[in-house]
Structure 1
Amino acid sequence: MDKNSKVVPLQLHPMGLIEAFTRLGADPDELLAGTDISRGQLERGSGYISYAQQARLVRNGIHACDRPGLGLLAGLEFGWCFFGPVGYVAHCSPSLRDAGEAFRRYLAISQPYYALVPRTARPTTVLETSDWFVDNIVTLPGLDDMPEIREFELEFRLATYLRAVDLCGNKRVEDPSVHVRLGYPEPDHGHIYSALPCTSITFDCPSTQIAMHRDFLLAPWRPYRRAAFEQVVARCEEILRNSRLRGSYTDRVRAHVYEAFNRTVTLEEVAERLSVTPRALGRRLADEGTTFRTVVHEVRMKLTLEHLRCSRMSVDEIAEVMGFSCGSSLRRAVKRWSGSTAGEIRAESASVRRQAPPVPCTARGAPDPATSAGSVQRNSG
């Protein structure tokens, strides 16, 4: 996608950023300087801008607000309506998992540049132990030459992600704690991180991740909102279907299979979500040189390899999670797929697993006061 292509809806993310920046002290005219966005466009609240224009808007905001931790502050201010229809799942998703799947699938509607993040890349979510999920926070590609914007985007995503987790996670479960690991040293504005809705923050970790108990993520707790949630999802699917952001059928099937994680997903189920018949979906995949079974196997193997790299579970436990009959079956499949043994893959990333802070381990029914919800711990170094 060309950074100069005008595909970003002005009334969504850009308008949300303008609102957040002005609340944080920026002058609107200073924000618009050099962006080729007019006051008239803001008043009309319609039209499209390019990612390059949005990047200039963010850079202007950084200089106009002139305060540390701006990405965090803007992320805490950002209105859900500026995500477009998918933003409303924050208030109606039956579970955090439902919300996460919807945001991943439809975020490109409000921010088309996210379509550049390839679903063929390594998975971002793994089970670190049998009870704890870890989700990696990644930034958009191509920001290495724009460090100010890269820092802003990472902190902005962290803040909005944690707000969604706080709204949609099931706090009625035994352990509703949320733990943040940051792949960078504590900055001078580290005190601003205390405003984030999480239980603990640890700097200087191997990567930037958020860890939470599987029950907090998976257990539904707003069942009476499912009808509203399905209406929002249907509207998002309609918008995506009529846009230029749909991608190939292979990519769309791959996204649905990733979201199902270790749950068996059928051709019929995915076809229904894509509003095509199973036969038509099979034909379209064939036209793209693949099959449904091939895509499912590809995703399963990539998830398996990522668990071998990042999870603290044993090979036998990973085999059970990923649906293999036994550890030996997983080992054979991994060798055929990657050319490396499961042991070799585990050994390559052993140091990374050791450096990651362990997930909380407390007696059943007795929360650890050091990691209970509401307190933020920092363990730099």
Structure 2
Amino acid sequence: MESIVTEKRVRKPEAPTAEPRTKSHDTPLLNNKVFAPYKVATLIDTVEACRISAETVLNRTGLSLEEIRNPHTLTSVRQYLTACDNIIAAGAGLGVAFEVGSRLHLSAYGMYGYALMCSPTMREFFDFAVRYHLLATPTLRLGWRLEGDLAIWEFTEIYREVMSNDLRNFLIRQQMMQNFTHVRDVAGEDRTPVRALFGLADDGTATEDERMLECPCFYDQPVHELHYPASMLDQAPELGNRLTRAMLEDTCDRLIGQAKMTSGVAGEVYQLLMLAPNQFPSMESIALQIGMTERTLRRRLRDENRSYADIIDDVRKKLALEYLTTTRMSVDDIAWKIGFSDSSNLRRAVRRWTGQTINEVRQG
């Protein structure tokens, strides 16, 4: 044990990675209520054994227990962070973080979770988990890469500036345990990590961390990672079904499209553009409204794999399809309302967006 705990660094293979990293670049806005309440509900159920009441968990969140039990309630990342802060202040230790993570099985994640369970291979499971992670009330950004004989989950902090050290410690362990649980859900109980790397100090928790994650743990690392043997990537999960996964992926695509409208800097730009769709302000004007320079805005959007032109196109698409399918407005009027100079530009755009003509879109 001593050699595991005191070793501070794990050398990474110096050879180039065999495959590019797969990363999620989407970051939900802290206060946007777009997530089902399953994580808060799991938190409440978990800490009941610690004699921490639901009222304590929900303090300052603006949520009631009745709302949390309603699957149609929408919650925000900030509300979940607040609930975690509450239980930490009430005495919940890191063991609760592991317990919450172990209870958040894929069945708790709706369509996203069911799609993951139906993954035809573990490689596709890893890819899908990252690509659609925005649907999972993310408190860290998820990524994965193949490096030598390891398949590596990467956990990147995205809200560090609003977290205490205690909250960071809690959420990083919870996320690692969630991924540990999800891999077991699809690959079987015997699938365990090779090692865990924590970008945290060793505060005397190594024994418990290793017991819960069933692998050696290393601290003071430059990253938070969970390493699995790459040999598992070609494994076919017991519930894998390519057709069912394809059907569920269509639903997840729609959900992720809705979530991206309220995620990151791109989400802020999207919402501002929706306020005046027929006369889109300049990028400089939008940057001033957000409180940054145009150059910074361009860089931030690039970091999220978006561009100002792409977001304008998204706004036009959403509004055009809504007007075409729910109103009897003329094509010329719709073109004007979404900032096109004439109807021919709208017709070309609709064909590009949908592969259909305007008449076909209107006929359903």
TM-score range, shorter chain: 0.5 to 0.7
1:193 to 209, 212, 220: 209
For 1:81 and 1:30, how far apart are their aligned partners in 2? Answer: 26
Structure 2 residue 87 is the aligned partner of structure 1 residue 61: yes
Structure 2 residue 241 is the aligned partner of structure 1 residue 225: yes
Whether contact under 8 Å (2:121, 2:237) holds in the other structure is yes
State the SS of the aligned residue for 1:84. helix
Following superposition, the deviation at residue 66 of structure 1 comes to 2.6
* RMSD over equivalenced CA pairs, Å: 3.9
Match for residue 164 of structure 2? 146
Structure 1: gaps (5+ residues)? 118-122, 256-278, 285-381
Match for residue 7 of structure 1? 34
State the SS of the aligned residue for 2:41. helix
For 2:254 and 2:186, how far apart are their aligned partners in 1? Answer: 24
Structure 2 residue 151 is the aligned partner of structure 1 residue 133: yes
Following superposition, the deviation at residue 27 of structure 1 comes to 1.1
Q: Which runs of 4+ in 1 moved over 6 A?
A: 279-284
State the SS of the aligned residue for 1:6. coil
Whether contact under 8 Å (2:195, 2:217) holds in the other structure is yes
For 1:55 and 1:215, how far apart are their aligned partners in 2? Answer: 36
CA deviation string 1:131-165 (max 9, x = no partner): 33333222233446422222211111111111222
CA deviation string 1:110-132 (max 9, x = no partner): 32676xx5xxxxx9544432x33
For 2:161 and 2:72, how far apart are their aligned partners in 1? Answer: 27
Match for residue 364 of structure 1? none
Following superposition, the deviation at residue 99 of structure 1 comes to 1.7
Task: Give the TM-score, by structure 2 length.
Answer: 0.56
2:109 to 83, 97, 112: 83
State the SS of the aligned residue for 2:34. strand
| Segment of structure 1 superposing worse, 25-34 or 155-164 | 25-34
- CA 1:17–1:79 in 2, change beyond 3 Å: closer, same or farther? farther
Structure 2 residue 114 is the aligned partner of structure 1 residue 98: no
Following superposition, the deviation at residue 35 of structure 1 comes to 1.8
Match for residue 211 of structure 1? 227
For 2:243 and 2:65, how far apart are their aligned partners in 1? Answer: 39
* Matching of residues 12-31 of structure 1 within 5 Å: 12-31=38-57
For 1:32 and 1:49, how far apart are their aligned partners in 2? Answer: 12
Whether contact under 8 Å (2:106, 2:185) holds in the other structure is no
State the SS of the aligned residue for 1:7. coil
State the SS of the aligned residue for 1:212. strand
Task: Give the TM-score, by structure 1 length.
Answer: 0.54
For 1:236 and 1:194, how far apart are their aligned partners in 2? Answer: 34
State the SS of the aligned residue for 1:4. coil
Following superposition, the deviation at residue 53 of structure 1 comes to 2.4
Whether contact under 8 Å (2:180, 2:213) holds in the other structure is yes
Whether contact under 8 Å (2:105, 2:178) holds in the other structure is no
For 2:231 and 2:102, how far apart are their aligned partners in 1? Answer: 25
* One-letter amino acid of the counterpart of residue 245, structure 2: F
CA deviation string 1:221-271 (max 9, x = no partner): 5485333333332221232234535869x98x969xxxxxxxxxxxxxxxx
Match for residue 262 of structure 1? none
Match for residue 307 of structure 1? none
Whether contact under 8 Å (2:116, 2:129) holds in the other structure is no
- CA 1:190–1:136 in 2, change beyond 3 Å: closer, same or farther? same
Following superposition, the deviation at residue 281 of structure 1 comes to 12
- CA 1:199–1:112 in 2, change beyond 3 Å: closer, same or farther? closer
Following superposition, the deviation at residue 64 of structure 1 comes to 3.0
Indicate the percent of aligned positions where both proteins have the same amino acid: 17
For 2:160 and 2:192, how far apart are their aligned partners in 1? Answer: 35
2:184 to 166, 169, 175: 166
Aligned residues: 250
For 1:110 and 1:192, how far apart are their aligned partners in 2? Answer: 26
Whether contact under 8 Å (2:100, 2:174) holds in the other structure is yes
For 2:48 and 2:189, how far apart are their aligned partners in 1? Answer: 33
- CA 1:283–1:231 in 2, change beyond 3 Å: closer, same or farther? closer
Query: Which has the higher Rg, Structure 1 or Structure 2?
Result: 2
- CA 1:225–1:182 in 2, change beyond 3 Å: closer, same or farther? same
Whether contact under 8 Å (2:193, 2:213) holds in the other structure is no
Whether contact under 8 Å (1:72, 1:192) holds in the other structure is no
For 1:221 and 1:94, how far apart are their aligned partners in 2? Answer: 7
State the SS of the aligned residue for 1:49. coil
Following superposition, the deviation at residue 6 of structure 1 comes to 2.8
State the SS of the aligned residue for 1:53. helix
State the SS of the aligned residue for 2:223. coil
Match for residue 293 of structure 1? none
- CA 1:165–1:281 in 2, change beyond 3 Å: closer, same or farther? farther
* One-letter amino acid of the counterpart of residue 226, structure 2: I
